[in-house]
Amino acid sequence: MDRTLIEAARSGDEEAFASIARGSADRLFAVAHRILRDVGRAEDAVQQTLVTAWRQLPELREIDRFEAWIHRILVHACYAEAKRARRWSANVRLLSVDGLTTPDTTLNVATRDALDRGFRRLPPEQRAAFVLHHYLGWPLGEIAETLDVPLGTVKSRLHYATSSLRAALEADARTSTPASRERMA
């Protein structure tokens, strides 16, 4: 991010902040969507992040830490959206469909769907650590600093997220019928 642009925005330049927002909104949305797994909620989290960033920008002490700072705000906005989603979400149960007449050649789609279902079961804190590490490629120390948690907590969240995803995939594999496995092959 351009240091002079951040300094100008920090001084109250709305155009400079609008330029920052335009330049970072897509990346912020990608992270929020991967954490929340919902387009509308991700958009809301990004919007809340940008509003909060604008309000708190004068308080930013280290301009070089802008990326980590705005991602911290984003992760907390995602946590708030996830809490709101839990209060209002309906429980939907997927029912299997027997007797497909055509072979299913969408193994990749099925795998992505199984991963998505497993990812949705993770708590937002685990999703955030997983996305920051595996999607953005951040080192564990930077994630700990951004989330303001100890390094051990980040390691624990990544461990439990990975274990939960693995268990969800294995459970999906066990629950699929032999006939559906043959169709997938």
Q: What is the pLDDT of residues 124-164, one digit of tens each?
A: 999 999 999 998 899 999 999 989 999 999 999 999 999 98
CATH at residue 71 = 1.10.1740.10
Whether residue 113 sits in one domain with residue 44: no
**Residue 49 binned pLDDT confidence (cut-offs 50, 70, 90):** very high
- DSSP reduced 3-state for 62: coil
Whether residue 181 sits in one domain with residue 130: yes
- Compute the chain's Rg from CA coordinates: 20
As a whole number of angstroms, the distance between CA 119 and CA 45 comes to: 18
As a whole number of angstroms, the distance between CA 184 and CA 90 comes to: 30
Whether residue 113 sits in one domain with residue 72: no
| Alpha-carbon dihedral angle through residues 166, 170, 176, 181, given to the nearest 10 degrees | 90
Q: Is the CB of residue 45 less than 8 Å from the CB of residue 76?
A: no
Overall number of domains in the chain: 2
Whether residue 132 sits in one domain with residue 120: yes
Whether residue 58 sits in one domain with residue 104: no
- Two tokens, residue 50: 């940008």
pLDDT per position as a tens digit, 78-125: 999 988 866 544 444 444 545 444 544 455 777 777 788 888 888 999
> Which residue range forms the structural domain that includes residue 61?
1-89
